[in-house]
Each structure stands twice: as structure tokens, then as C-alpha cells.
Amino acid sequence: MKTIDVCLTPELLHLHNIENSIVVVVDIFRATSCMTTAFANGVGSIIPVATIDECVAYQQQGYLAAAERDGKTPEGFDFDNSPFSYMVDKVKDATICVTTTNGTLAITKSKSAVKVMVGSFLNLGALATYLKDQQYDVLILCAGWKGKPNLEDTLFAGALVERLKEEFMIEEDSALMALRQYQNAKDDLLSYVASSSHVRRLQRLGIQKDIAYCLQHDLYDVLPVLRGNALVNM
């Protein structure tokens, strides 16, 4: 039987063998929710890069560019890391270069996997349906916050484990803990995450609307996957 596992932060990724796994990277607030929304709005591809400088270099070559550090957008970029900023005509068929505090690092760290995909509550159903049909083990990689686990990514991991638990075997306690946390939270996710450290951080930035949006399930049938250095919609 295929296995499903959860890695609560990229700092623990070296403990997992991902050569025969599909890695699903998640950064709910807000990198992977933005990416899902971008593809749902017709973006052609997204290039994740590690640094602000690389991102600026792409922008100078004519690409659209998005950057985030510590929940805020540095000056001069085309998107403000709110998923709503991707609901505009200019994204159609565009290539966007993106760097974020946690999410893009998680993607680049996973490159030795069979496939690297991007997950969020917004494309949970599409992702679950796709993964059920594949022959590979699944590792859900939570981007976390500066190396530490966070609540919202763990809850997403639990949601995906719940959707896949009939077809996959749960091997380790991280997956079990994420599943139970989600089962305990799912009837009112918004209240459940309200006291998390990152939500408190985001609320200080005034983006409650983003938070509610990013917790909606199954909004889009998109499957972002890493091909070479760019994410595309499968």
C-alpha cells in the first residue's frame, strides 16, 4: 500500500526519503494559496526563487514579479502577496517570478522528489483526486514559519491526509497528529486558526479577508506542478 506522510517543516525534510514520493508543498498564508489562485486565473507559469535579488533580476528582464518577506511586500513588485491581487487580467498566460519567506524555499528543497506539487485548501479536492490515481507515496511538506511548524499548514496536511487515508497508509505520528488536528478543527477552521501565531501576525497587517479566503476548500481544479525551474498547471 502506498504511504502518506507529513513533514511539519523544511528543517526536517532530510529525515524523509523523497526519491519515490510526490511532495506536496503547502504554505497556506499565503504563498501556495496565491499560486493556486494565480493558476485558476490563467497564469502560464510561476518561477519560485530564493532571494529578492533574483526576483528583481527576473523583473528587469520583463517578467511579472511577486515578493514577500515577513508577511509584507517590498516596494516595486507587481503583486502584494494577497491572493486577490492575482485576480486580474494581466496574469493571463504570464510568467511570474515569486519569492516568499517560507514557501519558495520548501519548493526548491524538494527537487529530488518524483514530482513537486503545490497544495492549498483552494485546490484540495483536485489534488486528492490526482494523488489517488498515482502509484507513488505522498509527502506533504509544510512550509512552516522560519523553520518552525505552524498551525495552518499542519491543518492543510491533515485535510489532505483525511481525503487520502483510505488509499494510503499513515506511517508516522506527524501525519496522525495533523489528521486529528484537522478533524478537531474542520467545522470552524476560521475560529480554530484565529489564535495561531501567523494569523495574529497577519491580522496586525490587516488582511482578515485573505485569511478567510485561503481557508475555503475545493474552489479550483488546478494542479500546479514543478517542471524544471517553473511551476505550471498540469
Q: Which residues here bind a copy of itself, judged by CB under 8 A?
A: 8-9, 11-12, 15, 145-151, 154, 171-174, 176-177, 180-181, 184, 195-198
CB-based contact 37:80 (threshold 8 Å): no
Closest approach of Cβ 195 to a copy of itself, in Å? Answer: 6
Nearest-approach distance from CB 229 to a copy of itself, in angstroms = 28
Alpha helices in 68-115 (DSSP H): 103-109
Burial group, residue 62, by CB count within 10 angstroms (0-12, 13-18, 19+): exposed
Tell me the β-bridge partners of 24.
Answer: 117, 140
CB of 213 to a copy of itself, least distance (A): 20
Residue 120 or 154: the one with the smaller Cβ distance to a copy of itself is 154
Contact 4, 176 (CB under 8 A): no
113 closest CA partner among 215, 221, 231, 16 = 16
CA 206 to chain centre: 21
- For a copy of itself, the closer CB: 84 or 165: 165
| Closest distance of CB 157 from a copy of itself, Å | 11
Q: Considering beta carbons, is residue 40 or 178 the nearer one to a copy of itself?
A: 178
Nearer CB in complex with a copy of itself: 114/176: 176
92/146 with CB nearer a copy of itself: 146
Smallest gap, in angstroms, from Cβ of residue 176 to a copy of itself? 6
Distances in whole angstroms, Cα of residue 127 to Cα of each of 11, 85, 139, 156, 227 = 24, 23, 13, 12, 17
The CA distances from residue 5 to 15, 110, 197, in Å, are: 12, 14, 24
- Find the shortest distance in angstroms from Cβ 86 to a copy of itself: 26
Q: Which of 201, 217 has the CB closer to a copy of itself?
A: 201
Residue type, 91: V
Pairing of strands 45-48, 21-26: unpaired
